[in-house]
C-alpha cells in the first residue's frame, strides 16, 4: 500500500500537458520532446479547437500548447472558450511567418493565453533541439501560473477600464521607459489602456519576445489600445504622444535630445535588446524627468536601469506579485530598492499619468 501511494505521488508531480495541433508531424515532435523530460507527461492530443475544449474539460491538464491555425475552431476561439469556462495555462505555439496567424496569437494573449513561442523550421535536428529547449522551459515555468477566468463580457474587470480624466496638462519634456518579459504583452496592453488617449509624453518599451514577433506585437498593441505605436528607429526623435517598442536583436538608447540610437553591441546580461541599457540611457538623458517601470518577467533585466533613474531623481515603479505572470524582474526591483512602489497592473497606467 505504501509503495503504491508513493508511486501515485510521483506521478502527480508531473506536469500534465495537452497538445492542441493539427499537424501530425508537429504533434509527433512535440510529444517526443515533452515526454523525454521526466517532469512532463503528455496526457492528450487534440487536432482541432473544439476537441481542445472537450479534452481540457475532461483531462484537466496543467498546461495546454495551442496552435492557432486549426480546423473547425481556430486556436484563438478555443483559447477564449477555455479561459471563460475552464481557465488553464495556455502556451501559444505559432508561426511568425503569417500576419493573420500572428495577430490571432496576440489576440489569444488578450483573452488569457500566457505566452507565445515560434514553431520555426523543423528540417534539422539542431532546429528541433533549440525548439525543444525553449518549449520545455516555457512549459515548466507557465504551468505554475495561476490563471483567472476571462469571459468576454468581463474583460474590463482585469484592468481595461477607462482612466480618470487628467486634471492638469501633460508635459512632453518627460519620458517613460518600460521593461517587460514573460507575460509582458498582456501587461503592456493593460498599462497602455490605463494611459489617456490625449497623453502628451513619449513612452519607450523593451519587451523580451521570441524573434519574429516584435512587429506583430506592435501591430497588436496599436489595434487594441488605439494609440500611436511604432518600432523605434535609429536616427529619429521620440515625440510626445507616441509609444515606441525596441526592435529585436539590437539595443535601443534615447540620447539627450530625444534622438534614438540603436546599438549593435553584444547582449547585456543575456538580453538584446536590454531593458537596462534603455533605462540607463533615458536616466542620463532626462534625469529627474524620467519614469521607469518594470513589469512581469523572469530574471532581473531593468533593475540596474531603474536604480539609475532613481539616483538621477526620476520616479520608479513596478508590477505587484498578485498580477505578475512571473514575479521575477519586479521582485528584484522591489527587493533592491530600485522600485519605489509596486502596483497591480490595472493601476500602473493611471499612476504613470499621475506622476507625469
Catalytic residues: 181, 208, 301
Q: Please check whether residue 217 is in contact with residue 106, taking contact to mean a CB–CB distance below 8 angstroms.
A: yes
From 38, 43, 56, 53, select the one nearest 16 (Cα to Cα): 43
Cis check: omega of the bond before 344, within 30 degrees of 0: no
What sign has the CA pseudo-torsion 285, 221, 268, 304? positive
From 338, 345, 353, 343, select the one nearest 275 (Cα to Cα): 338
Classified as helix, coil or strand, 172 is coil
Separation between Cα atoms, residue 150 and residue 66, nearest integer Å: 17
Q: Please check whether residue 159 is in contact with residue 346, taking contact to mean a CB–CB distance below 8 angstroms.
A: yes
- Which residues sit opposite 19 in a β-bridge? 45, 65
From 292, 294, 304, select the one nearest 356 (Cα to Cα): 292
Residue appearing with cell numbers 521575477: 328
Classified as helix, coil or strand, 344 is coil
Report long-range pairs for 40-44 (Cβ below 8 Å, ≥24 apart): 40/14, 40/15, 40/136, 40/139, 40/140, 41/11, 41/14, 41/15, 41/16, 41/17, 42/17, 42/18, 43/16, 43/17, 43/18, 44/18, 44/19
Residue appearing with cell numbers 516584435: 214
Looking at residue 297, what DSSP letter applies?
A: B
Residue appearing with cell numbers 520608479: 316
C-alpha cell recorded at residue 108: 489569444
C-alpha cell recorded at residue 93: 505555439
Amino acid at each position: 500500500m505504501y509503495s503504491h501511494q508513493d508511486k501515485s505521488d510521483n506521478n502527480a508531480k508531473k506536469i500534465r500537458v495537452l497538445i492542441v495541433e493539427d499537424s501530425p508531424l508537429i504533434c509527433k515532435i512535440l510529444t517526443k520532446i515533452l515526454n523525454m523530460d521526466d517532469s512532463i507527461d503528455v496526457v492528450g492530443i487534440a487536432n482541432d479547437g473544439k476537441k481542445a475544449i472537450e479534452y481540457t474539460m475532461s483531462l484537466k491538464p496543467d498546461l495546454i500548447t495551442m496552435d492557432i491555425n486549426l480546423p473547425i475552431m481556430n486556436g484563438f476561439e478555443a483559447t477564449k472558450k477555455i479561459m471563460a469556462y475552464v481557465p488553464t495555462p495556455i502556451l501559444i505555439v505559432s508561426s511568425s511567418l503569417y500576419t493573420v496567424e500572428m495577430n490571432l496569437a496576440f489576440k489569444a494573449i488578450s483573452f488569457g493565453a500566457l505566452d507565445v513561442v515560434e514553431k520555426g523550421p523543423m528540417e534539422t535536428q539542431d532546429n528541433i533541439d533549440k525548439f525543444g529547449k525553449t518549449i520545455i522551459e516555457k512549459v515548466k515555468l507557465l504551468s505554475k501560473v495561476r490563471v483567472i477566468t476571462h469571459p468576454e463580457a468581463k474583460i474590463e474587470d482585469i484592468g481595461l477600464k477607462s482612466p480618470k480624466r487628467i486634471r492638469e496638462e501633460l508635459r512632453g519634456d518627460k519620458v517613460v521607459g518600460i521593461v517587460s518579459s514573460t507575460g509582458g504583452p498582456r501587461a503592456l496592453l493593460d498599462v497602455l489602456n490605463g494611459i489617456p488617449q490625449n497623453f502628451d509624453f513619449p513612452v519607450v518599451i523593451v519587451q523580451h519576445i521570441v524573434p519574429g514577433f516584435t512587429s506583430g506585437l506592435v501591430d497588436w498593441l496599436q489595434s487594441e489600445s488605439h494609440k500611436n505605436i511604432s518600432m523605434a528607429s535609429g536616427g529619429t526623435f521620440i515625440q510626445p504622444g507616441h509609444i515606441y517598442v525596441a526592435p529585436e536583436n539590437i539595443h535601443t538608447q534615447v540620447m539627450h535630445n530625444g534622438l534614438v540610437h540603436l546599438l549593435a553591441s553584444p547582449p547585456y546580461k543575456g538580453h538584446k535588446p536590454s531593458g537596462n541599457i534603455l533605462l540607463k540611457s533615458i536616466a542620463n538623458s532626462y534625469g529627474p524627468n524620467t519614469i521607469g517601470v518594470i513589469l512581469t518577467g523572469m530574471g532581473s533585466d531593468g533593475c540596474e536601469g531603474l536604480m539609475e533613474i532613481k539616483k538621477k531623481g526620476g520616479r520608479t515603479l513596478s508590477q505587484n506579485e498578485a498580477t505578475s505572470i512571473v514575479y521575477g524582474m519586479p521582485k528584484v526591483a522591489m527587493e533592491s530598492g530600485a522600485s519605489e512602489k509596486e502596483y497591480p497592473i490595472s493601476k500602473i497606467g493611471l499612476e504613470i499619468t499621475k506622476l507625469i
